[in-house]
Amino acid sequence: MDGKNQKQAMLLGISAVLLWSTVATAFKLALQHLTPLQLLSIASVTSVAILFLAVLRKHPWHDVVTCWKKAPLRFAVLGALNPFLYYVILFQAYDLLPAQQAQPLNYTWALVLSLLAVPILGQSLQRSDLVALVLGYFGVLVISTRGNLLGMEFDSGLGVALALVSTVLWALYWLINAKNDTPSEISLLLCFLNGTPLVLLATLLVDGMPSGMEGVLSAIYVGFFEMGITFMLWMNAMKLATHTSRVSNLIFLSPFLSLILIHSILGEEIGGATYIGLIMIVSAVAYQQYAAYKTKPQS
């Protein structure tokens, strides 16, 4: 037995996708009462508690300390990226944009990853990458302008810019992490232990902590299911899978399920341009992954 279980991997993967599909709605519900920094501070503290318990179930604490001592600067940089800078900017984008726009724009981080891998990892851009980039960012334009490409009017130009900047930060986080041999759950905990004090300090200096309970439950939900439990579900799904591609392809369901929740819970009327642009973005990412798989040497 090699510890693989495709059925269990699919169940874990589907669970992760369903939970991730809810977080855009949770962002907007929390942001009705909290500032982006207040939302992030509550979510980050929640996530630290979850990750701490999860790590200690599998690893003695001295393993965590040993991993940190090997690369304290790297974890400081990673913590500044995630959770601090990435989520501050992402939540600000959600605060400025309808959820149906912010969520698909954030999904383009996979395209940014291929661009940044050129200077950071020394990889080369393939023709498929360029095709995916053009298709994906045309989809971004369709969503951002609500289909009025000639008018080029945005609900919030700043919101669109912040959503796209967040994709750069998220891609940077994963690229810097690519050479990290620390167990993934320990790495994530160390990132949050380094980044959460920055979040709390910024919140105290800029907005102060929330005075009431409005939005707090939604923020705790974000900490559980955007930053904590769901990541571990997905990570374990990928480890258990005998056919990794079947699990990884489940992620393409998430943005469409998310739109259903955005409409039914937030009451946003989903425009045709959102669906068209999202299909273009998802198709671009799927095509890029398929092309990479086809060119990968088969063992």
Torsion sign over Cα 198, 157, 20, 115: negative
Residues 6+ apart with CB under 8 A from 87: 36, 40, 43, 44, 199
Return d(Cα 35, Cα 26) in angstroms, integer. Answer: 14
pTM of the model: 0.88
DSSP 214: T
| Length of the chain (residues) | 299
Asked whether the predicted pLDDT for residue 138 surpasses 80, the reply is: yes
Residues 6+ apart with CB under 8 A from 212: 33
Longest dimension (CA), the chain: 60
pLDDT value, residue 1: 39
Least confident span in 13-27, 90-104, 225-239: 225-239
pLDDT tens per residue, range 194-225: 999 999 999 999 999 988 888 899 999 999 99
Q: Which of 38, 173, 21 is nearest to 92 (CA)?
A: 38
pLDDT tens per residue, range 172-193: 998 888 777 888 889 899 999 9
- How far CA 176 is from CA of 169, 185, 206, 259, in Å, comes to 10, 16, 29, 31
pLDDT value, residue 128: 85
Structure tokens at 74: 């790297």
Residue with tokens 């020394």: 122
Asked whether the predicted pLDDT for residue 2 surpasses 60, the reply is: no
DSSP 95: H
Q: Which of 233, 254, 237 is nearest to 245 (CA)?
A: 237
Structure tokens at 107: 């999904």
Amino acid in position 57: R
pLDDT value, residue 24: 94
C-alpha torsion angle, residues 202, 208, 212, 218 (rounded to 10):
-10
Average pLDDT of the segment spanning 111-140: 86
Contacts 24+ apart (CB under 8 A), 76-80: 76/194, 77/176, 78/173, 78/176, 78/177, 78/187, 78/190, 78/191, 78/194, 78/195, 79/190, 79/191, 79/192, 79/193, 79/194, 79/195, 79/196, 79/198, 80/194, 80/195, 80/198
| Contact yes or no for 26/90 (Cβ under 8 A) | no
Asked whether the predicted pLDDT for residue 144 surpasses 50, the reply is: yes
